[in-house]
Structure 1
Amino acid sequence: MTVLHQIDPIALDLGPLQVHWYGIMYLLGFGLAWWLGRRRVRAGRLPGVNEQAYGDLLFYSMLGVVLGGRFGYVLFYSFGEFLRDPLMLLRIWEGGMSFHGGLLGVMAAALWWARKYRLHFFDVMDFVAPLVPPGLGFGRLGNYIGGELWGKFTDGGWGVIFPRAPEFAGWSQTQLQAQFASGALERFARHPSQLYQAALEGLAMFVILWWYSRKPRPRYAVSGLFALLYGSFRFLVEFVRMPDPQLGYLAFGWLTMGQVLSLPLIALGLFWLGLSRRAPTLMPAPITASKG
């Protein structure tokens, strides 16, 4: 069934203050990470760390997501625009965040926090990895609500008409609704790739990683599985997702920047899983001494 996208990206309009659904999705992701992380702390999954110390980790990770995500977007996707207009780096409200940049930001925050509390970096990353997918899923739902990052045309019968797509430039909402009702827009139906990513990067990754990490696993294993899953899912979905217009396809008429950035994650995931076969296993323990 083809759907006409008509969701208002503004959840609450208070005149000078507008609350966007995308921002709410970020809050939901961080809120769920806080709740799930506290459960893992109470279960002793990061021995010697209390809830206050975990709160610090979450705060630094939030900064890493926002700053790393923005810097990564500028570096990977809009570096030419940045050279022409350096201030665009600060205009976060205009959109433009990169998962790969956000991941590097979180890793930097986790490294600093791990050294502060004298923990092994990958013990921290293994602890954090299962908490990330819900935020990814909510973020992709935010992309869908905002009608951005849509997919390629599809005749599969489940496509979505996105009014922000270039083929509808200059069209009014009344025109769109009338043409949609007549069936004239069926050929413009696109893959809702944002929902595919929400299902794979959000729901599927969370279920797999949460189940896998319920038992003690060797160091590197959970981080490796996270990297392998995300890299693989992202690489596959890029085949039905439109490339970033400022970059287009990088090679072969199909290779996108998202796929290029996902290949190192797949390689690292396999490498870390290989390392885990000879690594020690961190056993859960009740909190007996606070490090926060």
Structure 2
Amino acid sequence: MDEEISGKRFLWVTVLNLIITIVEILGGLVSGSLALLSDAFHNLGDSLSILLGYFAQLIGKRPETERQTFGYRRAEILSAFLNALFLIIVSVFLLIEAVKRFSSPSTIDGPVMLVVAIVGLLANLVSALLLHKGSEGSLNIKATYLHVLSDSLSSVGVIVGALIVTIWHIDWVDPVLTIGVAVFICFEAWPIVKQTITILMQASPKLDYLAIQNDIVAIDDVISVHHIHAWMIDEHRIIFSAHINVLDLPISEVEPIYAEIELLLKEKYGIGHVTIQAEVARGLDEELFNTPGDTNTEN
């Protein structure tokens, strides 16, 4: 029932965001306000984020297959990357247009800008109310809830600008607001781009590898650790593999060592998928991380 309610809330929030986007684009074109257009693209980005995130989440739940042995969890990472990249590209365009406005100022229809901005604020507040209850028990809903709140703050800024334009006819406030919104969008989007690229490039997560080495070697019958690899399937799931040198033991006595290492890595370091290869003498002289000159490969 909770998932159904959450799905309905996400649907209404998406619809409201799309309505805000359309209204602000039309209002921006009619009033000549670049700030309204920038806020519109901000809301459009959130709508795309919700839709892409929803469909990517459905794809990510598909089971592992012969061709996708780690499943489809990277679909959500690709979705986040494309959405954040889109926002940055749009923000750069808006920054360029805002700078042009300073050299070639245009007249802004303050009342139209004000009405549209108020409509946007009200819609964002309704969206925040729809998501507030669910944000207490779901990180996914909480993230969307915080995005909607940031949209509300952006709308408040546009309203203040519209009042200044309407009362004092200071049209240069509009490009200043545009620059502020565009910088704010980039500030939000860039960490997402950076994190998703890190995951897609299979960069190692931030782990204390020397501490991991010491903890594993401290286990009975483990002599050394080498050829460590660690990467992330998504922002939550870490994959880890390593070679360990152990005493010359039968497999039945090595398996409990595997289990102890897996439990250690899961509980202390949050690593969910572990692959260990046991060796006796092979690789004793190797470093913790494999270097290009090493000839050993994963088996």
Q: Which has the higher contact order (CA 8 A, sep 6+)?
A: 1
Greater per-residue strand proportion: 2
TM-score, normalising length: structure 1: 0.33
Larger radius of gyration: 2
Greater per-residue helix proportion: 2
TM-score, normalising length: structure 2: 0.33
